[in-house]
Chain A
Amino acid sequence: MNALWKFWDSSLGKKIVMAVTGLAGVGFVVGHMVGNLQMFAGAGAADAMHAYAKLLRTSMPLLWAVRAGLLACVVLHVTAALQLAARNRAARPQGYQQVTPQASTFASRTMLLGGILLVTFIVVHILDMTLGVAHPNFTHLDPYNNLVFGFQRPLMAAFYVLAMAALGAHLVHGAWASFRTLGLRKASERPLHRTIAVAVAIIVALGFMSVPIAVVIGALQPQGAASEMQASR
């Protein structure tokens, strides 16, 4: 049994993998959320989002490499999570009649449930906004209008908002726990205390939610397709 397999097979090794892949995910959602804020660029928003979509496609091999990396992170993160959850359940075959939580939080106790919701969301989101197959009115490279038309379905907008709330909760625990799992923090008087993770979680969740909410309340309306796209038609 080689060292890498031994590492992956151990519960601690799996936690390390989850922490590393989780932090990659944190980096991704922060970047994605900031990119989305161009939706609020006013009259030029459709142009800005179009230019952004083109920018991400500057090098297709690079884009595919990043996508493959992200997919690998999701697969490793989810596999480790499910395996650990099974081990954890087996570690206490008989539960307590009464348990009074002293330190765990709503966020820490719902990591598995929230994670399952997030995986479902990722699949729906890719079908909806990346491939457009689950979208009523999809135009390749016109993300502004894709988002606006997409969120004019109130149920879908509600699902996105719910998923982003779950993402926020996942980050409140995960963004904090990842650093501690990797041993990257100093010893502390209040080791459960977290400020940065909570701030990141709130900013990311609200940032993402702002788009569907703005569409639902009518603050974002369809715009003519990006000027460059009209010209090329």
Chain B
Amino acid sequence: MGGSSGRTLNLTLNVWRQAGPGSAGGFKTYQAKGISTDASFLEMLDVVNEELAAKGEEPIAFDHDCREGICGSCGMLINGTAHGPWKMTTTCQLHMRAFRDGETITIEPWRASAFPVVKDLVVDRSAFDRIISAGGYVSIATGNAPDGNALPIPKVDADAAMDAAECIGCGACVAACPNASASLFTSAKVSHLGKLPQGQPERYRRALRMVAQMDLEHFGGCSLHGECMEACPKGISIDHIMQMNRDYVAASWKGEPIAKAGGAG
């Protein structure tokens, strides 16, 4: 059955086009005709791109990889909302039945000075990678996987860490934040590792370094507007920002520990 409704939509797209990082961009209008309501948003763009390619025009560039909502590659501002109108849904999992026939859809790239546009709807999110390298890791013992429950973890902590670990790093929180702040992303990483026993050795250093990196990347500050949480396709809560702030204050109080020479094996 597949639940196919067999309906199709004719849409007007208002898409941000930009040839390269430095070049001036602008909106261009396209017609998307005969789009199945069963198509995903990216499949709709695929259809438009095929037509553009057939006409010898440059297809609309956008990031995507898994197309099943788990990799965090996709993401664009759709009618003023990060990842479009469906809550807790990535752009690749947004389906065209969310739209009405004849609707005009405005599509823009994530906007932040930390996320420069590479081309059209593709932005450079390597600022997130640098925040992770600043402290989003644990000093684990490598080797075989440990036995289950060898390390007892309270259920609430395990659940909270798992909730935070759902972050796929898509950048919707930054895109939706009026301040282009990366606080939800960073706090999800701080909370994910800091709630678990394996994350304790670097807990405070992590908060200091990741928060410092956020500033270095020129993300804005957190005003607790709450937009990030609404935009997050994984529904990550602003509660994690409290955890980050607590760790940051405690770490600032303690100061960064001086690394011992030699280090552990």
Whether B229 is near chain A, meaning CB under 8 Å from some CB there, is yes
Interface residues of A in 5-29 (CB under 8 A from B): 6-7, 9-16
In the docked arrangement, what's the CA distance between A15 and B215, Å? 13
Smallest distance from the beta carbon of B69 to chain A beta carbons, Å? 19
Q: Which residues of B contact A184 (CB under 8 A)?
A: 242
Interface residues of A in 177-230 (CB under 8 A from B): 177, 180-185, 187-188, 191-192
Whether B53 is near chain A, meaning CB under 8 Å from some CB there, is no
Task: Pick the residue among B111, B176, B249 that contacts A94 (CB under 8 A).
Answer: B111
Which of B1-9, B59-67, B77-85, B128-136 contacts its partner? B77-85
Q: Which residues of B contact A11 (CB under 8 A)?
A: 181, 211, 214-215, 219-222
In the docked arrangement, what's the CA distance between A94 and B243, Å? 31
**Given A91-B179, A97-B27, A10-B211 contact (CB < 8 Å):** yes
Q: Which residues of B contact A177 (CB under 8 A)?
A: 223-224
Q: Which of B27, B79, B160, B178 has the most CB of A within 10 A?
A: B178
Task: Pick the residue among A12, A92, A102, A188 that contacts B179 (CB under 8 A).
Answer: A92
Q: Is the CB of A92 within 8 A of B180?
A: yes
Whether A100 is near chain B, meaning CB under 8 Å from some CB there, is yes
Q: Is the CB of A92 within 8 A of B80?
A: no
**Given A3-B255, A10-B215, A100-B239 contact (CB < 8 Å):** no
In the docked arrangement, what's the CA distance between A16 and B249, Å? 8
Whether B230 is near chain A, meaning CB under 8 Å from some CB there, is yes
Q: Is the CB of A104 within 8 A of B242?
A: no
What number of B residues sit within 8 Å (CB to CB) of A? 49
Task: Pick the residue among A12, A84, A98 that contacts B80 (CB under 8 A).
Answer: A98
Whether B29 is near chain A, meaning CB under 8 Å from some CB there, is no
Q: Is the CB of B111 within 8 A of A96?
A: yes
Q: Which residues of A contact B238 (CB under 8 A)?
A: 180, 191-192
Q: Is the CB of B81 within 8 A of A91?
A: no
With CB as the reference atom, state the residue of chain A lying closest to B256: A3
Task: Pick the residue among B79, B113, B179 that contacts A98 (CB under 8 A).
Answer: B79
| Interface 1/0 per residue, A76-114 and B, CB below 8 Å | 000000001001101111111111111111001101000
Whether B122 is near chain A, meaning CB under 8 Å from some CB there, is no
Q: Which residues of B contact A183 (CB under 8 A)?
A: 242-243, 245-246, 249
| Interface 1/0 per residue, B147-189 and A, CB below 8 Å | 0000000000000100000000000000010111101000000
Task: Pick the residue among A93, A95, A192 that contacts B226 (CB under 8 A).
Answer: A192
Q: Is the CB of A191 within 8 A of B229?
A: yes
With CB as the reference atom, state the residue of chain B lying closest to A99: B80
Q: Which residues of B contact A111 (CB under 8 A)?
A: 223
Q: Which residues of A contact B245 (CB under 8 A)?
A: 12, 15-16, 181-183
With CB as the reference atom, state the residue of chain B lying closest to A94: B111
Smallest distance from the beta carbon of B155 to chain A beta carbons, Å? 13
Whether B231 is near chain A, meaning CB under 8 Å from some CB there, is yes
Q: Which residues of A contact B160 (CB under 8 A)?
A: 187
Whether B42 is near chain A, meaning CB under 8 Å from some CB there, is no
Q: Is the CB of B79 within 8 A of A92?
A: no
Q: Is the CB of B229 within 8 A of A103?
A: yes
**Which chain B residues have a beta carbon within 8 Å of chain A's beta carbons?**
14, 27, 77, 79-81, 106, 108, 111-114, 160, 176, 178-181, 183, 211-212, 214-215, 218-227, 229-231, 237-239, 241-246, 248-249, 252, 255
What are 24 A-B contacts with C-beta separation under 8 Å? A6-B252, A9-B215, A10-B211, A11-B222, A13-B248, A15-B245, A87-B218, A88-B179, A88-B181, A91-B114, A92-B112, A92-B179, A97-B108, A102-B176, A102-B231, A109-B178, A176-B224, A180-B224, A180-B238, A183-B242, A183-B246, A185-B242, A191-B238, A192-B238
**Which chain A residues have a beta carbon within 8 Å of chain B's beta carbons?**
3, 6-7, 9-16, 84, 87-88, 90-105, 108-109, 111, 173, 176-177, 180-185, 187-188, 191-192
10 more A-B residue pairs beyond the given contacts A100-B81, A183-B249, A191-B229, with a C-beta to C-beta distance below 8 A: A10-B211, A10-B248, A12-B183, A91-B218, A92-B220, A94-B111, A97-B106, A177-B224, A181-B224, A192-B229
Which 6 A-B pairs give the minimum distances between C-beta atoms? Answer: A103-B226, A91-B220, A100-B80, A11-B221, A183-B246, A104-B225
